[in-house]
Structures are given as C-alpha cells and as structure tokens.
Homo-oligomer: A and B are copies of this chain.
Amino acid sequence: MHFKIFGDVKSGNCLKVKWTADYLGLTYDWIETDVMKKANRTQAFLKINPAAQVPAVQFDDGRVLSQSNALITYFAESQGSNLMPAEAWARAKVNQWLFWEQYSHEPAIAVRRFKRAYLGLADADLDPSLLDKGLAALGQMEDALIGEDFLTGNDFTVADIALVAYTRMAGDGGYDLQSFPAIVQWIGRVEHELGLSPYPGYKHL
C-alpha cells in the first residue's frame, strides 16, 4: 500500500503516524499541513477530512482514514505486526492505553505544551487544571512503568508509540520529567525502538 500522510511536524499525533509507518517499513509521502497557518481549514483539506484534523491519511485508491490511534492500529494490523497483539486481552490493554491517551493525557500535556511553546503564553495565564491533570496522567504512567519495559509489559506496542509522542515533549509544557524516573527510562527504550534521537531538554537516564 502507498499513501499520503497529511501531518504537521509540530504535532505528536502526526509524528506517531510517521514513526509507525517508518517502523513498519511503509512508503508514503508526507504532506506538511501547518495548523497554525490553517492549512487544515482549506476547502481542499476539508474534502479529505471534514473534521479538519491532522493527521489524515489518503491511500492511493482514494480511501481516507483519520484519528492518529486508529491509523497506527490499522498500519499494525494490516501488516500483521505485533505492535498490535493478536490475543484479545493483550489487545484490550493496548486499547485502554490508546483511549486513555486521547482523553486523559493529550488534552492536558499536548495542550499545555502548545500554549507555552507555540502560542507563547506565560504559565500564569494558563488554566491551572492543565498542570494538575497532566501531572496526574504522568503519575499514572510512572506507576504503570515501574518494573516494566513497556506500558503493557514485555512487548513494545502502539500504546508505547502513542504515549511517547507527547510524553517526551512534556518538558516543553512545563512538566518536570525528572520527577518520573520510570517514564524517563521508558522514553529512552521507545526512542531506541523507533530510532529517534533523545528528545532535548531533560536528563536522560
């Protein structure tokens, strides 16, 4: 299969899709779609994704799929990759992390990063609940990762790819990753699996 990824390189949701495609050896064209320049609001883009969200993937036969975690799951399943385990319970635990990421992690950690790093807002001007909610999410990840290599245990899955995207950038959002040593070690493992350079801004363990 061959496809175009409409994505914004500033977005962890888009990078997840790129990393998964690269990990699986898929070939694609990356169509940079700058959200701050409203490239997701053009008539041409809205025909591809009426939800005006990146990432969106258009396959060469015209089919379109959106939602980052649906995309990485589809890539893994269509390639028969263990990134999405075949066994029902293992799949369920991966899905639990994927839905939790979009509801309880991204809306705090990614949003606070965007407001600080891209909109240039000062901490005093940010909704304090963003910090509390993000720290609670990081605390849950830390507890889950103590003594484990990956989020669902011994195996590297799309759950790790989905969660690492904004977690490794959490420092940009004003979250102190040094307080979460199991997370920092896990970030290193996931970056190694994906062939990524260590994200700057905090001390790698």
Interface residues of A (CB under 8 A from B): 50-51, 53, 63, 65-71, 73-74, 77-78, 88-89, 91-93, 95-96, 98-100, 102-104, 106-107, 140, 143
B51–A67 CB distance below 8 A:
no
**A70-B96, A99-B67 known; A140-B50 Cβ under 8 A:** yes
* Complex contact B74–A99 (CB within 8 A): no
Q: Report the Cα distance A93→B78, complex, angstroms.
A: 13
Number of copies: 2
Complexed CA–CA distance, A63 and B69 (Å): 24
Given known contacts A93-B65, A140-B51, A143-B50, A99 and B77 CB-to-CB distance under 8 angstroms: no
Contact A51 B102 (CB under 8 A): no
User: Considering the chains assembled together, what is the distance between the CA atoms of A107 and B111 in angstroms?
Assistant: 14
Q: Assuming the A-B contacts A102-B102, A103-B103, are A69 and B95 also in contact, with contact meaning beta carbons closer than 8 angstroms in the complex?
A: yes
- With a CB–CB cut-off of 8 A, which chain B residues contact A69? 95, 99
Nearest CB in chain B to that of A107: its residue: B107
Question: Do residues B99 and A70 form an inter-chain contact, with CB atoms below 8 A?
Answer: yes
Chain B residues with CB under 8 A of A95 = 67, 69-70, 73-74
A67 and B96 contacting across the interface, CB-CB below 8 Å: yes
A92 touches B65 (CB 8 A): yes
Cα A140 to Cα B66 in complex, Å, equals 13
Other A-B pairs beyond A65-B93, A69-B95, A103-B107, 12, CB < 8 Å: A50-B143, A67-B103, A70-B95, A70-B96, A70-B98, A70-B99, A74-B88, A77-B91, A77-B92, A99-B99, A99-B102, A103-B106
